[in-house]
Amino acid sequence: MPSLFQPVEFGALTLSNRIVMAPLTRARSNREAIPNALMAEYYAQRAGAGLIISEATGISREGLGWPNAPGLWAEEQVEGWKPVTEAVHGAGGKIVAQLWHMGRLVHPDLGGGQPVSASPTTAPDYAHTYEGKKPYVEAREATKQDIKRIVGDYAAAAKDAIAAGFDGVQVHGANGYLVDQFLRDSSNFRADEYGGSIENRLRFPTEVLEAVGGAIGMDRVGIRFSPNIYSQGVEDSDPIPLFAALAQRLEELRVPWIELREAHQPTSAGAVPTEPVSPAMRPLYSGKIALNSDYDGPSARARMAEGIADAISFGRPFISNPDLVERLRAGAPLAPGDLATFYSGGASGYVDYPTMDEAEAA
């Protein structure tokens, strides 16, 4: 079995190790969703990862409902990302952009109109807005024209990602956002060819992947799912057959890598995970699989040894351990993160976590 420290190919990308930085929204952009120099510093500090997956990045104004999250639909955003990707490359790393449409989770205050989703549904809980939390509003069912436009937005954002210097993209298909809203039977009640059967529920993600692959080459495309957790009101009554069919589809499409947020314990949101889907997907999909959620060094090694994962992605550990790869190599303890600064804006709790050497010197 390969170790975490051996190289691996994710399509066109050769990763120098199998420790992936999971996508982490950190809300440090401005209201126009433009990235900045602070973000370049943050990502460059974490360039030891075999691959950095960027924080979720809006493909359109309509699709972005998180205050101070970045985007990839305007020229200024592309320009803002360039120093970020240059800094990561300068530090020897690789970075892909996570492409995000939040669907029904976009509040009109941010998206500018009634949100779209697979079906007219309302997400549970509260939306984040610049004026604090507000109840979600009911989404309208995406028309065929909406679907065509949104698929086009994904492709345009993927092209913008390459123009901004990213090594590729990851389609955000996880956590109850638009792709997930189409995929699952708790949020997709459509009667047309985009809803109902598994085959129909795969149609939207398939069209997105075909468009993005067509725009930048499928060898630079990955996708993320969260198959076995309830997330923001989205789940499935029968995940195993759905994700087995999805694995076959990803194989046909030649998507070179996927990331699964496959929880093994209750999530921080309290959702209890159902059976893992990766054992059912592995025999049907020959691309690379990165597994995520709640790993540390020993549990990551143990999971790699089971032969399903080609890589392990780490989220929270990368927030508070910029040199996570070196710490895992040394078997050193991991520093805890400060939840209060996860989304707070500013440098504090963002670029000031020390490396092992800096901590020792202090």
Ligand X SMILES: Cc1cc2nc3c(=O)[nH]c(=O)nc-3n(C[C@H](O)[C@H](O)[C@H](O)COP(=O)(O)O)c2cc1C
Catalytic residues: 177
CB of 184 to ligand X, least distance (A): 16
Within 13 A of 191's CA, how many CA atoms are on the CB side? 0
CB of 57 to ligand X, least distance (A): 8
Helix ranges (H only) for the chain are 37-45, 75-90, 108-111, 144-163, 178-183, 198-201, 203-216, 239-253, 278-281, 297-305, 316-320, 324-330, 356-361
CB of 259 to ligand X, least distance (A): 8
Query: Other C-beta atoms within 10 Å of 187: how many?
Result: 26
> Which of residues 141 and 246 has its CB atom nearest to ligand X in the complex?
246
Beta strands in 221-287 (DSSP E): 221-225, 257-261
> Which of residues 28 and 61 has its CB atom nearest to ligand X in the complex?
28
- Contact (CB, 8 A) for 208 and 149: no
Cα 103 from Cα 116, distance rounded (Å) = 5
| R_g of the chain, CA atoms, integer Å | 19
C-beta contacts of 128-134 below 8 A and 24+ residues apart: 128/65, 128/66, 128/67, 129/67, 130/31, 130/67, 134/107, 134/109
> Which of residues 190 and 230 has its CB atom nearest to ligand X in the complex?
230
CB of 194 to ligand X, least distance (A): 23
Strand 311-314 relative to strand 168-172: parallel, antiparallel, unpaired?
A: unpaired
> Which of residues 128 and 261 has its CB atom nearest to ligand X in the complex?
261
**Of residues 38, 26, 29, 144, the one with CA closest to residue 83:** 38
DSSP code of 273? P
Binding region for ligand X (CB under 6 A): 22-25, 55-56, 98, 172, 174-175, 224, 261, 292-295, 314-317, 342
> Which of residues 56 and 87 has its CB atom nearest to ligand X in the complex?
56
CB of 318 to ligand X, least distance (A): 8
CB of 297 to ligand X, least distance (A): 12
Cα 50 from Cα 55, distance rounded (Å) = 16
**Of residues 223, 148, 135, 133, the one with CA closest to residue 179:** 223
Closest chain position to ligand X (CB): 315
- Contact (CB, 8 A) for 103 and 178: yes
> Which of residues 172 and 220 has its CB atom nearest to ligand X in the complex?
172
Strand 126-129 relative to strand 13-15: parallel, antiparallel, unpaired?
A: unpaired
